[in-house]
Amino acid sequence: MSLFNNTLPEIHNKLHQKEISVGDLVGHALETIGAHEDKIRAYITVDEEQARASARQLDDQLVSGEERGLLFGLPVGIKDNIVTEGLRTTCGSQFLKNFNPVYDATVVHKLRAAQTVTLGKMNMDEFAMGGSNENSSFFPARNPWDLERVPGGSSGGSAAAVAAGEAYFTLGSDTGGSIRQPASYCGVVGLKPTYGLVSRFGLVAFASSLDQIGPITKNVQDSAYVLQAIAGYDQKDSTSAKVDVPDYLNALTGDVKGLRIAVPKEYLGEGVDPQVKEKVLDALKTLEGLGAVWEEVSLPHTEYAVATYYLLASSEASSNLARFDGVRYGVRSDNPDNLLDLYHQSRTQGFGPEVKRRIMLGTYALSSGYYDAYYLKAQKVRTLIKQDFDRVFEQYDVIIGPTAPTTAFKIGSQVDDPLTMYLNDILTIPVSLAGVPAISIPCGLADGLPVGLQIIGKAFDESSVLRVAHAFEQNTEFHKQRPQM
């Protein structure tokens, strides 16, 4: 049995009772990586030497008998767009294939303070632009449940590694669903916090008004522990929110009696696979049996969310990625004719086709004569989408629906159809536009592939989201299902 099948408190107790060591945990993770990574490709960089050295240091500290936090000694993976001092951070792009940051992102600093062990950097769609991990410029990650299928994106490597037991937990980033959708496809738990709850300092920006870091774990309790460690105000991040961080573990009561659940009709309508819909309705029956009540509601501007998102996210990407010019860091073309040619050749060589597509779309939307017609209008529709959520939350505690309209699709089946690929995020994008928290948890299998249940909460009410997810998890066995590697 995998060591990682133990719960976090169980591992903590084993460490302090000297039944296992940090070296055992790290060694187990590295052995699993060695056994499966040639098929799954969840990592871009594995830092075995430093991981083993860190494990030895932490084991020396254990001898002292000093009390340690619950994350102590856990082997973790970091998405490759979150900077790590001295450890290559590529963003899944050839542009940054040799980039070694000189500082840690705030979330990485917090995990180091909690004394976790970083195993390496997780595979991802280039600059987080994609929904399948096929846009990684190194190699696509594969879904441990079916190696012919995608793990989702852009945090596909982060989700695949947890599902395959290659890390105890990982960090991902979510711009339009990039934590939740891969969590759904890989049968694990993925949490997107409220925008501003977790510092973005050290996260390489894709769309600054949408990007948010969050954990991918095996169960809801672990998500609560990790969120507790990484949440909080950071003066280095101008978008960080000055809010109190509650004790998320206290929220895991299992009690949902009287809980008011809203189920948007738009989330169970056209385009949602019948088996996915069936699993979501079964999940609602489970919560109903625990004392919750649910009603159908409408989020009428959902149909405009995908178009709104891709205009806004691409516009912000156009601005953010302008810094990659071949001058300061990253790829630099050889022998350019002049400065403009340096920009042109470096970006031609460094960026992949999806990144170029979004930069061009965003630049067009921001250009003179089109700004009002596209970007400004998209911002107005974003406000309407947020108001839809605000109105529903006046009467309901949480919103529930599927995380993705289908299960994981086959590698290569949508790579030449970007519009179809974009629609895979239709159920996660509205949440990101509204800036509210949401979690994806397993709620069953459809034709042997995981189905994700999305639970959405009010801004900064992660406690309710975690409480509902944990109550469902404690009364089902779906989170214990593992792929047959």
Type of residue numbered 438: A
CA–CA dist 179, 212 (Å, integer): 9
The helix (run of H) or strand (run of E) holding residue 325 is none
Q: What is the pLDDT of residue 1?
A: 52
Q: What is the pLDDT of residue 68?
A: 83
CA–CA dist 38, 41 (Å, integer): 6
Q: Would you please indicate which residues are annotated as catalytic (active-site) residues?
A: 79, 154, 178
Q: In what order do the strands lie in the sheet with 293-297?
A: 43-46, 117-122, 75-79, 169-174, 212-217, 189-192, 438-446, 449-456, 398-402, 260-264, 293-297
CA–CA dist 379, 6 (Å, integer): 45
Q: Could you give the number of structural domains in the chain?
A: 1
Instruction: Report yes or no on 20 lying in a domain.
Output: yes
pTM of the predicted protein model: 0.96
Instruction: Report yes or no on 221 lying in a domain.
Output: yes
The CATH number given to whatever domain includes residue 151 is 3.90.1300.10
Instruction: Report yes or no on 460 lying in a domain.
Output: no
Closest CA to 141 of 119, 164, 118: 164
| pLDDT tens per residue across all 485 residues of the chain | 588 989 899 999 999 899 999 999 999 999 999 999 999 999 999 999 999 999 999 999 988 877 788 999 999 999 999 999 999 999 999 999 999 999 999 999 999 999 999 999 999 999 999 999 999 999 999 999 999 999 999 999 999 999 999 999 999 999 999 999 999 999 999 999 999 999 999 999 999 999 999 999 999 999 999 999 999 999 999 999 999 999 999 999 999 999 999 999 999 998 999 999 999 999 999 999 999 999 999 999 999 999 999 999 999 999 999 999 999 888 899 989 999 999 999 999 999 999 999 999 999 999 988 999 999 999 999 999 999 999 999 999 999 999 999 999 999 998 777 777 877 899 999 999 999 999 999 999 999 999 999 999 999 999 999 999 999 999 999 999 999 98
Domain that includes residue 101, residue range: 3-257
Instruction: Report yes or no on 173 lying in a domain.
Output: yes
CA–CA dist 146, 13 (Å, integer): 34
CA–CA dist 180, 452 (Å, integer): 8
Side-chain half-sphere of 201: how many Cα atoms within 13 Å?
21
Q: What is the pLDDT of residue 291?
A: 98
Q: What secondary structure, in 3-state letters, does 174-190 show?
A: ECCCCCHHHHHHHCCEE
Instruction: Report yes or no on 363 lying in a domain.
Output: no
